[in-house]
Structure 1
């Protein structure tokens, strides 16, 4: 790498480190030579660039690994939610079977609201009260509410 003076004057920059840190042209012109310093700074700069490149590669690999773990966790979460829904649906079907689906009012309410019949029965008051007593549960005071479709911000209408 030529020093600043040799670069400016388009000369060959030759340094004999056994004699001096200055090039022969700078010695001849009796000027300061920054050739040795430029080479050292360039070497340090190249070393820093390599270090940053390695750090970038490491972070990229880490990012890919984290993204893969995130996708795996999301898939496990979806699977768990699916299993929870299946277990809930199975439990509600068992409960509906235990209670019997012969109440036409409950079935009409379920079909018009899109809510499973067992869910309507649970909110239907007397049926739930009977089930709670049969299973040895103390019946708390519940307010019976109408079940129906509507916007998510609609308030249930009290039937009592």
Structure 2
């Protein structure tokens, strides 16, 4: 992209057109600068509030007890903030999801690319691409809504 004030056929633009172009470009740069500065300020305030409100916990508990503590009970009479069970639970859920999804997705990809007829491929490929375009948060919310009630009723627990 050439911003030198010349058109593609190398004929110079008139003075007014070039000045208008430069003015528009400067205006857009200014808008982008202030938008980026505003985003940096907002993120800075978020970090400031997180550090301000989170520091007392680290001062009382310590980083090692926070990361490796075996109990998460922030509402207890004497609060405990160990996130080790949360980390392990996250890793186990991730491992379980991968055990289920990797073979399924590889099988689907191999079938579509190597075995499916052109007619089946024409239907499955856009369907898979559409599913891939949906954010994982949407699938998680759907799972939360559907599976929570299923688990609560099936296993007779007070919450899913």
| TM-score (ref. length: structure 2) | 0.35
Ranked by relative contact order (alpha carbons within 8 Å, sequence separation 6 or more), the top structure is 1
- Structure 1 or 2, whichever has the larger Rg, is 1
TM-score (norm 1): 0.35
